[in-house]
Amino acid sequence: MKNRNTIFVAILAALVCFLLLPQAGASPPVAVSSTTVDPFASCTTDFPDLQPGTLYPNSEVEPSIAVNPLNERNLIAAWQQDRWSNAGSRGIVSAASFDGGATWTTVTGTKTSACTGGALPNGETIFRATNSWVAFGPHGTAYLLSLAIPFFNETALLVSTSTDGGLTWSDPAVLEQEANNAMNDKPTITADPNHLGIAYAVWTRNEFPVEQAAPMAEQHTGASRGPGWFSRTLDGGRSWEPAREIFDPGEQNGTLGHQIVVLPANRLGGELVDVFEFEYGHNNSHGLRGIHVGAIRSNDRGVTWSGRTLIADALFTPILDPLTGGRIRTGATIPDVAVDPRNGTLYAVWLDARFSGGEHDDIALSMSTDGGVTWMPPTKANQTPADLDPANAQAFTPSVHVAADGTLAVSYYDFRNNGIDTDPSQPLETDRFIAVCSEPSASAPDRCASGWIETRLTLTSFNLRVAPNSEGLFLGGYQGLASAGNQFVSVFTQANSASDPATVYFSALP
């Protein structure tokens, strides 16, 4: 009996180990940021002890990733380092890999804040930074965009370039700086794959009444209008055109999460498509009120833009801790967008509760085969089991990308492995997954003729309850997903412990 018990325990242990491994060939996660060392531990130039809010040392959140088209083994990731509870971080840190993500070199000299060696051209101290985004141009130049916070009623958009694969960054260009009654928010940057030296930056410029100073960065509610703004470079980042408005939602209306994708040169001449969330506070001539996902297009590289196309209503319900009901800050309905590099088919994803009758959010996926002029009704993309308790069925923070061969991938978090908690001291068990479709199809009910194949990216479930609390448990409003040829590469944040509240990990999926 003893021997049988020993054998049974050994088999059970082996089975558990097997089940905990990432499935379907995903590489084991590699820590991109340090799990033990805070690169800003000795920094005092931003006077952290005098700043308001709670600081989370050794936390890394909201990563993005880019792949060098001249060398697909060269990857760059960037993230917020040492998140504050009430907006931003102590600076943007990046990392470069030259072996496909197996090893990473951390770069603190991004010049995005005082702790990373940066300051505004007038010498003004940058106390905090947020919203980093990286992109590679077809000539191998990398772009790093971030939102600087000199003071709590100021924001400035900074863009640096790197010509050595992300090991060093240039002094940043200032695209736009606002104070008092306006605030920049949620910028992204896209390098034009069809034209050398051209890149596009797009963001929201929240505007407030003259008598009302702009609130702390990232608190965009209450703006009287939030139009989309734009700038571009034609010379590889050496200079940028003056920033300007490209979409006006009107008074008491706003936008958020603008992101530009570029169609292939053989599809509508490489037209630009900007996908974003827009919110109408009142009914308008189109009969719209509430939150929606939409797009505008440009056929002259951003000089002029079309009117807004409605992709879909965003039927969002907040993501909440299944036990406590506390807020989990996920980026809400900010969409992510991707383009098939072969034929220009577009995909957009966002959080949506329509598939559960409003009980919980899933990942909505919409598809466009005509360059963003029209979009198909959204379908559910996440493969979270349907028989879960609604609180554990919540899926959030989606990313979408298309590989060189047209394979589609959508990644997300969910709580399927959480079980039933009885005390908040127990872990909120969270995982990152990626669902892949090798044959996307407009005629398939779920937009996938081959069937979605899901892979778990996290090695084991992590405890989201130890994540930084920034108006809710916070891993970021977005996570990074890209491709190196036909291989998907992902960076995502997971919470490990009170001393390591958030770490960026890398995983690849052949």
User: How many Å apart are CA 439 and CA 31, to the nearest integer?
Assistant: 32
Phi–psi pair at 377, nearest 5 degrees: -55, 140
CB-based contact 229:239 (threshold 8 Å): no
Residues 241 and 280 both lie in one domain: no
Residues 361 and 394 both lie in one domain: yes
Within-domain flag for 419: yes
Question: Could you tell me how far CA 492 lies from the centroid of its own chain?
Answer: 9
pLDDT in tens, 78-110: 999 999 999 999 999 999 999 999 999 999 999
Inform me whether the pLDDT recorded for 164 exceeds 50.
Answer: yes
| CATH code, domain with 356 | 2.120.10
| pLDDT of res. 202 | 98
Domain boundary among 231, 247, 263: 247
Confidence of residue 7 (pLDDT cuts 50, 70, 90): very low
Residues 255 and 170 both lie in one domain: no
Cβ atoms within 10 Å of 445's Cβ, excluding its own: 7
Inform me whether the pLDDT recorded for 170 exceeds 90.
Answer: yes
Per-residue pLDDT, averaged over 458-473, amounts to 97
| pLDDT of res. 239 | 97
Higher-scoring residue by pLDDT: 281, 52: 52
DSSP state of 509: E
Number of domains in the chain: 2
Inform me whether the pLDDT recorded for 221 exceeds 60.
Answer: no
Strand partners, 97: 75
Within-domain flag for 15: no
Share of the chain above pLDDT 90, in %: 84
Within-domain flag for 391: yes
pLDDT in tens, 317-359: 999 999 999 999 998 889 999 999 999 999 999 999 999 999 9
| pLDDT of res. 446 | 96
Residues 239 and 260 both lie in one domain: no
| pLDDT of res. 286 | 53
| pLDDT of res. 151 | 83
Residues 452 and 346 both lie in one domain: yes
Residues 415 and 304 both lie in one domain: yes
Name the helix (H) or strand (E) containing 7: helix 2-20
Distances (CA, A) of 490 to 133, 441, 479: 14, 24, 8
| pLDDT of res. 126 | 96
* Domain that includes residue 276, residue range: 249-510
Higher-scoring residue by pLDDT: 56, 153: 56
Within-domain flag for 6: no
Mean pLDDT score of the chain: 91
Domain boundary among 247, 273, 300: 247
Overall pTM surpassing 0.95 (yes/no): no
Confidence of residue 134 (pLDDT cuts 50, 70, 90): very high
Nearest-CA neighbor of 189 among 169, 162, 159? 159
CA Rg value for the chain: 22
Residues 273 and 197 both lie in one domain: no
Higher-scoring residue by pLDDT: 285, 242: 242
Within-domain flag for 14: no
Strand partners, 411: 399, 434
Per-residue pLDDT, averaged over 396-420, amounts to 97
Contacts of the segment 332-335: beta carbons below 8 A, 24+ positions apart: 332/277, 332/477, 333/257, 333/277, 333/291, 333/293, 334/186, 334/256, 334/257, 334/277, 334/477, 334/478, 335/257, 335/259, 335/275, 335/276, 335/277, 335/293, 335/311
Domain boundary among 220, 247, 274: 247
| pLDDT of res. 267 | 82
